[in-house]
Structure 1
Amino acid sequence: MDSQREALQRIITTLANKDDEIQNFIETLNHTLKNVQVNTTKVMIDLEEEFGALQATLDEMKASMVNKIKQEQTYKSQELQNQLTICNNALESSEELLDYANRTLSTNDPEAFTKAAKQIKDSTEMKLIFTRAGVTMAPAFRLSLKPKISDNMTHLMVDFFHEKQMLRSLKFLPVPRAPEIDLADCLVADNCATVVWRMPEEDHKIDHYILEYRKTNYEGPPRVKEERNWDIIDNIKDTEYTLTGLKFESKYMNFRVRACNKAVAGDYSEPITLETRGFNFTFDGTTSHQNLKVDDFTVEWDSSGGKGQESRIKGKENKGSGQISLKKNKMSGTPSPKRTFVSGRPASARTNRDRFTGESYTVLGHVSFYNADTKQLLHTFKTKFTQPVIPAFMVWCGGLNLYTGLQVPSAIKSLQKGDGGLGGSENSLTGLAQ
């Protein structure tokens, strides 16, 4: 009966997990469908804007070329009109001379005829005309009878055959393919996360990459209805990136990356989920001295009596361990609290207290304390532990800052594998890291 219940419970758990996955996938599909509609509207608007800009450019070029043709027309018309005016004036002068000559032929006075004929001859030879206003050159004899301007306008003709071919070859922008994240090469250590990716095929037009990440407490694929937004790292030139100084207050982190050329960004890679094991805990104000001001992450000595025992913050659930940064001590005449060490056991540890009382075991281990700012080793305890180890601190005329959501540094892990590596206080994380 018990085995059947266990089997049924496993089936129920499996089905519940599968239902959760399917529900998440349905939400993803609905979100994708909505984005398809939104993005379609966006690209349609962009297309209209681009063609509008193209049409505006064509209209601008057309107006410029039409203006050039009109200027050429005005210039040629003006030059021809000026030449036509000169010719008309010359024709009028020539006709006057011709009329004077005809009248001279009809005269019967020999003396007047001789005089007039001589004047006409001299005026034609000297290109002069005698008028009442005086003597002028005959325009008909100094006039060029060749047009100054040609009526040809072929130099302003156009042929947009190649341009039309180019317009017919208009196409959508080439989009980079989605990168592939190499899960085996990704690393989470020392509160840093390194993500490595590659392109499915070589693409020399890629300009940079965009990495997006967010924290989550779900192990599977990223969920659409996630409380946290994606954080963005832009303009990455390499195919890997390391996020440093992270605080792991969640169990996992989602990562995705996309490639960009000079114009557009491509699709996201398949997202990955990396486990981010960090140690999180807070100070237990219910176990502190009454002259201490205690909140979740800071402790300060207060000679005026702190907040009083009645207003102390209740202990919160223990989530692991972290690092302690010692505040600089300030000298004071305030006496120190009694050296009665009170266990800093959090609530969850107290709820499981009975489970440990009936067990008997001994563990030989090390407990080391480092300065979180300088990475200098403060002290190491080597002893046999027969009960769960809960850190407790004495604060006098100073304070403590708690840094949580951290990982055990790799340098400490490597020393723990050695013999007596943590024995001397001259060791430090800085030296080990080097």
Structure 2
Amino acid sequence: IQTLENNLTNLVKRNSELENQMAKLIQICQQVEVNTAMHEAKLVEECDELVEIIRQRKQVIAVKIKESKVMKLRKLAQQIANCRQCLERSSALITQAEHSLKENDHARFLQTARNVAERVAMATASSQVLIPDVNLNEAFDNFALDFSREKKILEGLDYLTAPSPPSIRDELCTASHDTITVHWTSEDEFSVTSYELQYTIYTGQTNFISLYNSVDSWMIVPNIKQNHYTVHGLQSGTRYIFFVKAINQAGSRNSEPARLKTNSQPFKLDPKTAHKKLRLSNDCLTMEKDESSLKKSHTPERFSSTGSYGAAGNMFIDSGCHYWEVLLGASTWYAVGVAYKSAPKNEWSGKNSSSWVFSRCNNNFMVRHNGKEMLVEASHQLRRLGVLLDYDNNSLSFYDAMNSQHLHTFEVSFLLPVAPTFMIWNKSVMILSGLPVPDFVDCPEEQQEGMTTLCRQQDSPYVSGMKGCH
């Protein structure tokens, strides 16, 4: 009995679902009927309008043909009348001349001949009236009816559908620290009346439907006529998601979403902050230590209260995500990080609460803040140090950029703007700024895995795992 009741319940449920499904299908059928009738009526309306336009143009062109005919015939009739008058005068003159030639009286002949000769000369000089204003060729060749282009357009009339989805060309898109230029292509661009570009900050959300439905978070650029557009005023070092909508009268279709990112804010070394024993290059991207003082002592001046051989970047950061790299060359004594403007200028970076650095002291790599040091595992072949400052998410991270390895992350609740800071005690370093955030930095899972093997002291109060940047 229980089995029968269960089966009966399932059957009733299934019947209910079938009834709902059938009701939906009937509703769709009705909608198809309504839409079809609407389109048929629209077709008749549009074709009638085309026929009316053709009828009106036929009348206009017919009037122009008749007007051209009247004008030409009037000119020709006037010329015929002129020719007839000239012909009558010439005939009378010829008769008079023949009569004068028959005159036997020499004196009378001379008098008559002189008068006739003058009139003949005048008649010959006025012969230009015989040149027609409208010649035979002009009467027919300066007007033509050619509707081949219009015929092709009419033959191409069809049922208009929404455009095919456009495709964003990632390889053509470019970026600066505050702009992204998006390029796209469309298979049927001639049927597109305009494009619409939409974008928002990419937060790592993988459910695009949910993201798209968050209408408030999207910025919209409507009525774009070309297949590219530059968006200004973006956050530096930030990943955005874009899609393009192709639009015509029949509707619209969206491209697949594309993730594009801005570069970091570019900066250089500020000569006003550089130690007098440091040499800066002309482009202020390289600094070199005068090593004559090192030869006098086996121990770098990092242990001295005045041993601050450094320089700061020429910008202060108070928001956004920023990434730069330092080419370390052969230097084995350096410190790289960020500091408040209030950080002591004659003190080693990291020995106070206003600075955070990654440092190498010969064979030891360490991070340092507020006088606390912690060893970090890194390759002695480390030649390219990546620095990621995510000010808004309160993190400062360091990477072996060549090997895509995370080295360490400070979690810092920044209270003031910070400037990039650099210190060296031998050789030279070079700054690379204005870079995009690398892809390996954008993957928090990979960063967590790398962090567990590269950081020695996970329980330190100022050390934590990497927080993903936008």
Q: Name the one with the larger strand percent.
A: 2
Larger Rg: 1
Normalised by the size of structure 2, how large is the TM-score?
0.35
TM-score, normalised relative to structure 1: 0.38
